[in-house]
Amino acid sequence: MVMTLTLLGEVIYAINVILAIIIIFRQRRDIAAIWAWLLVLLFLPVVGFLIYAFLGRQLPKGKLFKVKSDVQLQLDELLVRQRAQFGNEDLPADLVSNSVQSLVKMFVTANHAFLARKNRVRILTDGKKLFHEMIEDMERAQSSIHIEFYTFYNDQIGQKIRDLLVRKAQAGVEVRVLYDPFGSLGTYRSFFKPLLAAGGHAEAFLARSAIFDFRLNFRDHRKIVVVDGKVGYVGGFNVGNQYLGRKEKFGYWRDTHLRVTGSAVFGLQGRFILDWNATAKSGLLPADRIEPQYFPITRVKGDTNMQIVSSGPDSELQQIKMGYIKLIQTAKQRVWIQTPYLIPDDSVMDALRIAVMSGVDVRIMIPNMPDHPFVYRATQYYAHELAKIGVKIYYYEHGFMHAKTMVVDDRFASVGSANLDYRSFKLNFEVNAFLYDEKIALQLARYFEEDQRVSRLVTAEMFAQQSFVLRFKQSFSRLLSPIL
């Protein structure tokens, strides 16, 4: 009997090994992800496959292809019209410094991300103020409201916005909502029935609902709102009570969002159209021509030149990560970063290491509490590694730090949905605004300094004094970094 069970166990393990090799190597992955998944599948027989079903499966090629092929939408025609109307020069050599022109060109080449000039940008760091302004803008909508969020919860603020959208749809405004079914767990399609009945539209990104979509990867992590094609929002906030500081677990929610008017809104609108068309089975938006109702040309007297950059598993270029690296390489005085998840790959680690060794003041602010245990332990591991090479690590202690910002030399900045981790670089669909404006950069730097006053500097020596158990958890979580 014992021999039979032993033999059965050996057979099961042998089958487990064969299946693990077949599954991992049948699709293209980077070396780090291959070893991480082999570790899980070989050392956790059977259970590892359950974990893989949630975390490891890749998006069907048909869906990836659909997202990728739709990215042929071009705004060149609109930009030519805009330049002709406003008398702008053909190239932005006089509008961005020489040190960042290569970054602008890189985004144009890799992401078709045009340089949007002279926008008006307002930074919003408090959920109550953000939703107050966002709701006011939606109340004023005349033609269209396009919303895309990773999380759209069925709670107090979610219901308030849903009911507002119902009223606007009844008044004849085109309303479209795109939400991620996994990020919006508990929000079922029935939640949007009143909106659908009013003539609005709501779709779960690349899936009907979370019930039939078990992947934790390839999520729509973008946060986009476009009103009448004239006002846009992008950043780190989602729709839910916790983002207004109404969840005791997190307390005050510290995040960063942008309200944008000007031609940069075209980039947000274009991104929404691509994502909508990749998801919706009917009611597609025109992606082969520029419709004035979605891309109205308006004169805005602003000071901010910027690019809207998106990235995701439909491209191997990791455009936002390349932008982060390029900004870090540009730095001469300082690089200040806020991110809830700090799991950088080797290329980002090397960029930060080179910056520190070059005398650049590198500071990274992360939360003082976890919302995902494994991810938080891995974040602590990398925070320790970075502290050892001279990066100043701050634990934010006034609530939960969820902002995704980077400020370089008080001249350039990035604000968006992408964290400094593998998941944002490779596994999720993200969108960031890269801003070339000294005033905006200085304002973000001041916010960082204010947050620093309610944060705790954690040194390499303090990390080294942590218990053996805690350091083991951090090291073990680090092994799973490529798949967290």
DSSP string, 428-473: SBEEEEEEE-HHHHHHHHHHHHHHHHTEEEE-HHHHHTS-HHHHHH
CA distance 460 to 249: 28
Closest CA to 441 of 414, 415, 411, 405: 411
* The pLDDT of residue 63: 54
Q: Give helix 319-330 / helix 346-357 axis angle, nearest 10°.
A: 10
Torsion of CA 182, 187, 418, 66, to 10 degrees: 60
Q: What is the pLDDT along the chain (484 residues), one digit of tens a residue?
A: 555 656 655 565 566 556 555 555 555 556 566 556 556 655 556 555 555 555 555 555 555 545 554 434 445 555 555 445 444 444 444 456 666 788 888 888 888 888 998 999 999 999 999 999 999 999 999 999 999 999 999 999 999 999 999 999 999 999 999 999 989 988 999 999 999 999 999 999 987 544 555 566 788 999 999 999 999 999 999 999 999 998 888 899 999 999 999 999 999 999 999 999 988 887 788 766 678 889 998 888 899 999 999 999 888 889 999 999 999 999 999 999 999 999 999 999 999 999 999 999 999 999 998 777 778 888 989 999 999 999 999 999 999 999 999 999 989 999 999 999 988 998 899 999 999 999 999 999 999 999 999 999 999 898 888 888 888 777 777 766 655 5
Half-sphere exposure of residue 159: CA atoms within 13 angstroms, side-chain side: 4
Closest CA to 369 of 399, 339, 392: 399
The two structure tokens encoding residue 308: 């809207």
> CB neighbours (10 Å) of residue 424?
26
Half-sphere exposure of residue 142: CA atoms within 13 angstroms, side-chain side: 6
The DSSP output letter for 113 is: -
Closest CA to 382 of 335, 420, 344, 411: 344
Closest CA to 339 of 409, 286, 416: 416
CA distances from 64 to 58, 67, 71, 204 (A): 10, 5, 11, 16
User: What is the phi/psi pair of residue 203, to 5°?
Assistant: -135, 140
CA distance 288 to 283: 15
* The pLDDT of residue 164: 98
- Are the C-beta atoms of residues 422 and 345 closer than 8 Å to each other? yes
CA distances from 346 to 32, 267, 391, 457, 476 (A): 10, 30, 16, 24, 18
Burial class (CB in 10 A: 0-12, 13-18, 19+), 359: exposed
* The pLDDT of residue 71: 38
CA distance 145 to 73: 20
The two structure tokens encoding residue 147: 């919303």
Give the residue carrying structure tokens 């895309």: 148
The two structure tokens encoding residue 220: 């729509």
Give the residue carrying structure tokens 């989602």: 238
What pTM did the predictor assign? Answer: 0.85
CA distances from 470 to 177, 186, 378, 382, 419 (A): 42, 33, 11, 14, 24
* The pLDDT of residue 21: 59
* The pLDDT of residue 281: 82
SS3 329: helix
> CB neighbours (10 Å) of residue 426?
21
SS3 405: strand
Burial class (CB in 10 A: 0-12, 13-18, 19+), 263: buried
The two structure tokens encoding residue 129: 């103020």
Indicate which residues carry an active-site annotation: 221, 223, 228, 402, 404, 409
Amino acid at 110: A
Q: Give helix 127-139 / helix 156-170 axis angle, nearest 10°.
A: 10
